[in-house]
Amino acid sequence: MTCHEFAKSLMAFVSGDLGAEDERRLQRHARQCPLCAAEVDSYERVIRLGHLLPLIDPPPEALERLRAALIALESAPEARSASDSSTR
Partner 1 sequence: MSPVSSVARSAVCLRSPERNGRPKPPTLTAEQVFHEHAARIYNLARRMLGHDADAEDITQEVLLQVVRKLDTFRHESEFSTWLHRVTVNAALAHRRKCARRSERQMSEPMEHLLEEDARSASLRLTTSRPEQHVLDQEMQALIEQAISALPPLYRDVYVLADLEGLPNAEIGALLDLGVPTVKSRLHRARLFMRAALAPHFQEVRVG
Q: What minimum distance in Å lies between the beta carbon of 21 and partner 1?
A: 21
Angle at 16 between CA 14 and CA 19, to 5 degrees: 125
Q: Is 76 in the site for partner 1 (CB under 8 A)?
A: no
For partner 1, what does the binding mask look like between residues 29 and 68, x meaning CB under 8 A? Answer: ------x-xxx-xxx-xxxxxxxxxxxxxxxx-xxxxxx-
Q: Does 71 bind partner 1 (CB under 8 A)?
A: yes
Cβ neighbors of 23 (< 8 A, separation 6 or more) are 13, 16
Q: Taking the CA atoms of the chain, what radius of gyration do you get in angstroms?
A: 25
**CA atoms within 13 A of residue 9's CA, in its CB half-sphere:** 21
By the criterion CB under 8 A, which residues form the site for partner 1?
10-11, 35, 37-39, 41-43, 45-60, 62-67, 69-71, 73-74, 80, 83-84, 87-88
